[in-house]
Structure formats: C-alpha cells, structure tokens
C-alpha cells in the first residue's frame, strides 16, 4: 500500500501569502497482534505462544533499559532523551511545572532501508467538515430512528463543536418542505458530541444538520444525517 498525501493551503508571512503544506492521509494502523499474525502466516516454525513470549520480553527489556535512563540503539529504532523548558540559572534544579523529560525515537537502519522502496501517491483532500455518526434520543435511548420533541438528543461524530453566538452555526431541523428550525438549547458542545434539546413544536419527519465554522477556518461547513428522523 502506498503512502498517500494531499496538499492543503498554508498561509505564511505578513502578506498572508498562500503556499501548500503536505498532509499524510493514510489511516491504516498495524498493531502487535497484526505483526504476530504476519509472522505466523509466513510459515514460521515458531509457535504462537513462543512468539507472544518473545515480543512481550522484547517490550519489557526496552522498558527496563529506558527506565534506567539508557538510550536504545537497535536495528529498528534509536531513542534519546531531552528536557524541555528554559532554566534561569546554571544551577537551577528541575521544576516539574516548567520542565519535562521527553523521549524521542528515530528510525534505525532496518526502517531506513525500506524508505526508498515506499510508493508515494498524491490524493485530493476534501475540506474538513462536521460529521454526524449517530443520533440518540436520550429519553427513550432509541438510536438513529427518531427523537422526542422538547427532549434531549445526543449527536456523536467529529468536528461538531459550534459557536452558539453565531446564528449561522448550530443544530438545525429541516422538514420535507425545507422549513428550518434551529435548536436554541445546547447542553454539551464538544467536537465529538453535542447534547441538544430539540424544539418542542416539531412534528413529523426531519433531517438534522450540524453547521459549524471549524477551527482556523472561515467558511461554514455542514453535515446532514444520512436519513430523516420521525418525532416520537
């Protein structure tokens, strides 16, 4: 699988000149379990239980040496320590409120070896927008099927946080004729969840939209839930 990237606008300088910066879009993640299954699938004579024990032992040894303040210099990666924060004098001790020990990793020769062989593909990046994944009626616990007028619903997803002082933004209920009603009472306003009291006068089937101006963006972005929900 290639490494996929896209280009997004990046404003720099006093004249707000626009350039583009690269954003890696791959989302696939390999875990220890995936590595274990790969070892076994390639016909290794190592038993699964033995492989688990070796991987666990490797992890514990890396932890132990790191806890002792030692740097790791393996074929896979190299580690080194640093301390963040400024010091006011040459003999000032560590202050946990201003200084922090950090651990950094860089690829070792085995990982450096594969870099030239990785395919790189440019893809088109869609501008971020609010994304509704589910809507739960908190009175009945019904999910994605309806809502009770005048009661609270939980909207979960991504990029959902809104500016309630901006009348363009919010949670909107749209009937089949296109009439729009904005929810005025929002009890929870987080990027991953909105808890909203639905307008009490609603009756029928409505499409629910979240409209928001995302962080460091200027334009209004909208997501409409995939299907209409009936009042209960």
Mean pLDDT of 134-161: 96
Please provide the distance, in angstroms rounded to a whole number, between the alpha carbons at the two ends of the chain.
Answer: 47
- Look at residue 13 in the predicted model and tell me its pLDDT: 57
Residue 172 has pLDDT above 90, yes or no: yes
| 139 within 8 A of 205, measured Cβ to Cβ | no
Mean pLDDT of 150-168: 95
Q: Do 41 and 105 share a structural domain?
A: yes
Report how many domains make up the chain.
2
Instruction: For residue 220, give its domain range.
Output: 131-231
- Look at residue 4 in the predicted model and tell me its pLDDT: 92
Residue 154 has pLDDT above 70, yes or no: yes
- High-pLDDT (> 90) share of the chain, %: 77
Q: Do 150 and 106 share a structural domain?
A: no
Residue 14 has pLDDT above 80, yes or no: no
| 226 within 8 A of 133, measured Cβ to Cβ | no
pLDDT grade for 186, boundaries at 50, 70 and 90: very high
Q: Do 160 and 75 share a structural domain?
A: no
Say which range, 13-17, 37-41, 58-62, 213-217, has the weakest mean pLDDT: 13-17
| 191 within 8 A of 159, measured Cβ to Cβ | yes
Q: pLDDT tens for residues 36-47?
A: 999 888 877 888
- Look at residue 12 in the predicted model and tell me its pLDDT: 58
Q: Do 211 and 187 share a structural domain?
A: yes
Q: Do 189 and 159 share a structural domain?
A: yes
């Amino acid at each position: 699988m290639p490494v996929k990237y896209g280009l997004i606008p990046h404003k720099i300088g006093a004249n707000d000149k626009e350039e583009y910066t690269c954003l890696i879009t791959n989302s696939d993640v390999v875990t220890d379990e995936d590595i274990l299954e790969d070892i076994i699938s390639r016909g290794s004579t190592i038993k699964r239980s033995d492989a688990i024990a070796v991987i666990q032992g490797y992890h514990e040894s890396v932890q132990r040496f790191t806890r002792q303040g030692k740097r790791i210099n393996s074929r896979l990666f190299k580690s080194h320590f640093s301390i963040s924060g400024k010091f006011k004098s040459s003999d000032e001790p560590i202050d946990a409120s201003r200084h922090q020990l950090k651990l950094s990793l860089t690829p070792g020769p085995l990982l450096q070896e594969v870099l030239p062989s990785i395919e790189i593909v440019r893809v088109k990046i869609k501008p971020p927008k609010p994304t509704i994944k589910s809507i739960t009626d908190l009175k009945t616990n019904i999910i994605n099927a309806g809502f009770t007028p005048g009661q609270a619903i939980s909207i979960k997803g991504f990029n959902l946080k809104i500016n309630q002082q901006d009348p363009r933004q919010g949670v909107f209920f749209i009937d089949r004729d296109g009439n729009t009603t904005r929810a005025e009472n929002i009890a929870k306003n987080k990027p991953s969840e909105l808890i909203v009291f639905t307008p009490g006068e609603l009756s029928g089937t409505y499409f629910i939209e979240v409209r928001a101006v995302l962080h460091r963006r200027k334009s209004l972005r909208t997501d409409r839930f995939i299907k209409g929900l009936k009042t209960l």
